[in-house]
Amino acid sequence: MKSFKTSLLFLLILLIGTSNLLAQVKPIFENGEAQIIPELKDSSNWIRTDLWVETEFDTDGDGRMDRMHVDVTRPLQTETEGLKLPVVYASSPYYAGTAGNAPIFWDVKHELGEPAKPRNKTEVVRTGKRPIISNSEIMNWVPRGYIVVHSSSPGTGLSQGSPTVGGDNESLAPKAVIEWLTGKDNGYTTPDGNEKVMAFWSTGKVGMTGTSYNGTLPLAAATTGVKGLEAIIPIAPNTSYYHYYRSNGLVRSPGGYLGEDIDVLYDFIHSGDESKRAYNNKTVRDTEMAQGLDRITGDYNDFWAGRDYLNDMEPMKAALLMSHGFNDWNVMPEHSYRIYDAARAKGIPAKIYYHQNGHGGPPPFSMMNQWFTKYLHGVDNGVEEGPKAYIVRERDEQSNPTAYADFPNPAASDVNFYLSPGAPEAGSMGLEKKTTAKQETLVDNYSFTGSALAQADYTEHRLLYLSPVLTESIHISGIPKITVKLASNKPAANLSVWLVSLPWTEGRNTKITDNIITRGWADPQNHASIRKGEPLVPGTFYEVTFDLQPDDQIIPAGQQIGLMIFSSDAEYTLLPKPGTELTIDLDGTVLTLPVVGGKGVVEKAVK
C-alpha cells in the first residue's frame, strides 16, 4: 500500500509539473504581429532592475573601463517560469536632464572667415538621484512579450565616461550592453563593485529604436556589427554630425537652433559624474572639439569624418526600418536616406518610411511590431518582402502611408529647368535651354527671412525664377540638384537655395507642405572640394553644384514651382553684415528635379 501511495504521489507531482509547463506564458502572434499577452499586462508584476555594464573604453581618465547605467524591465515570469524573451533596447543621453535653455549658442552675427566671440559654457544639473527612464517603450513592448532595456550614454546620468557626440565610445557603449544581453559576463550590480549579474532571461535577440539622438544610437551600435543586434528602427536619426552642423562647406545651424554646434550639444547633455567633468571638458570639448569643429572654414575634415556613420557601415548587418519627415529642418531628411541607400546597396534588409511633417514621427506601430516580430521572435511574417518605401501623402494621416516600390520612386527621372531673367521681380523657369547671356545680381541682407523673400513681389535681396502655372500636378520624388554659376564681390559668401510652391499661403489651414518644397545650402569656396575651400576671386565665376534635401511631394495644379537663390539664410547660416553681392550667370545655372513620369509629365503640366 505504501508503494502504491508513493507511486500515486509521484504521478501527481509529474502531472502538476507537466501542467505548469503547459501553462507557461508564451508570446502570441496574429497577422504577423506580437499581441498583448494577458498574463503580462499587470505592470505591478514587472521586475525593474538597475545595473552597470562594463565597456572596453575609459573616456573619463580614471584608469578604469567605463560602466554604463542600464535599466531593465521584464515580466515576473522571466524569474518564476524560466521565460526567455527578446529585448527592445533604447539608449539616450537625455534621461538625466539637459542644460535646457541655457544661453550657450555661438553668436552667428560676424563676417565669414572670422572667428566668433567666445560662447558661454554651462554645466548640467542632474535630474534626481537616478535617470528618469522613459516608459513609452516599456508600455508598448513588455505586454507583447519583450523585455525592455534602457541605458544612459557615456558621461550622462549614472553612466561613467565622457560624452563625445558621435565619437567611438557612443557606438561601443550600446555594443557592450548588447554583448551583456547575449551572454557576456560584463554586468555588475553597482558602478564600482565586483558582484556580477547575468541576463539569463534574454534570448540573445535584440532590437533598438529611438528618436533623434536616441535614434542615432541604434545606428551607432549597428555599425559595430555586434552579434545579437538583429534589427533597428531609427527615427529621425542624426547620421553625420557634419551634415547636421555644416552643409557643403557652409557653417549651418539645425533649424530652430541658430548658433548651435557640436560643442554646444556636448554641454547640453553632459549630466554625468560632476567630479569627472573638468577632465572631460578639457579632453573632449576644449581640445578635441575645439581643434576639430572649425567654424572658420566649414570644411569637412577627419574630425567630422570620424562622426559620420556612413563611413562605419561595413560591419553592419542589422535589419533596418528607417523613419523620417520630409519637412524635418532640424535633422534633415538626407540623414536617413544616405544610410538607407547604403544599407540597401549592402543587401541588408531595409525599408524606409517618410511622412510629410517635421522632426520625429515613428512608423505606424503595426509596421514596427511586424519588424521586431520578424527579426526578434523569428516569425515568418514576410515583412521584408514587397514595397520598400512607405510615404505619407500630403493630406493623409501619418498612420496611413502609401506603399511604393522604393524611394526615390523608380518611375522618377531627372528633368532640367533653365532660367530666364526677371530680377528684381521674378524671372521664369522652363524646360528649354536658351542662350540669354544674362547675369542677375542679388544683395545679401539677413534681416529679410526666406519666407519674406519668397513672398516679395520686388526685391534686390533674392533672385526668383518661376515655372508656368501647373495645369496638372507634378510628383517630385528623389534628390533635387542644382548647379549655380556665380561670382561674388567678396572672397567669401553664403549661398542658400529654396524650392518653393507659389502662391505662398498662410493661415490656420496651411499645411507644412504648402510653401517650401525643399532647401539647400553651400559655400562657394568649396566649389572644387568639400575638404578644402579656397577664397573666391571677386568678379570670377565659379560653378557650385550640390544636392537639395530629399523629397517626395506632389505639387498640385494651380501652383508655380519657384527657384529662389539668395545668400545668408536668417534661420540657418552665419549672418555677416549686409552688402555682399552675388551675380548669377543664368546660362550656367540649372535646376534638376526628379519627376515621376519624367519630362513628358512636366511638358503636359506647363502647357
Residues catalogued as catalytic = 212, 328, 359
| Spatial CA neighbour of 522 closest among 572, 561, 571, 570 | 572
- Beta partners for 325? 355
Helix (H, G, I), strand (E, B) or coil at 520: strand
Using CB atoms within 10 A of its CB, is residue 19 exposed (0-12), middle (13-18) or buried (19+)? exposed
The number of helix segments (H) and strand segments (E) in the chain equals 14, 28
Q: Which three cell numbers stand for residue 129?
A: 538621484
Give dist(CA 510, CA 515) in Å, integer: 9
Q: How far apart are CA 550 and CA 528, in angstroms?
A: 23
Side by side, the strands of the sheet bearing 229-235 are 187-188, 46-54, 67-75, 147-152, 85-92, 202-211, 229-235, 319-325, 350-355, 389-391, 402-404
| DSSP-derived 3-state class of residue 298 | coil
Asked if 160 and 68 count as a contact pair (C-beta separation under 8 A), the reply is yes
Residues 495 and 525 sit within 8 Å (Cβ to Cβ): no
Asked whether the beta carbons of 177 and 89 are under 8 A apart, the reply is yes
The answer to whether residues 573 and 450 touch, using CB atoms and an 8 Å cutoff, is no
Measure the CA–CA gap between 68 and 495, rounded to whole angstroms: 43
Residue 377: CA count within 13 A, CB half-sphere: 24
Indicate the DSSP class of residue 288. Answer: I
For residue 8, give every residue at least 6 positions away whose Cβ sits within 8 Å of its Cβ, in sequence order, or none. Answer: none
Backbone angles phi and psi of 455, in degrees to 5? -90, -10
User: What single-letter DSSP state applies at residue 289?
Assistant: I
- Give the dihedral sign, CA 236/238/239/244: positive
Q: Which of 100, 80, 91, 96 lies closest to 40 in space, CA to CA?
A: 80
Q: Are 301 and 331 in contact (CB under 8 A)?
A: no
CA distance 50 to 56: 20
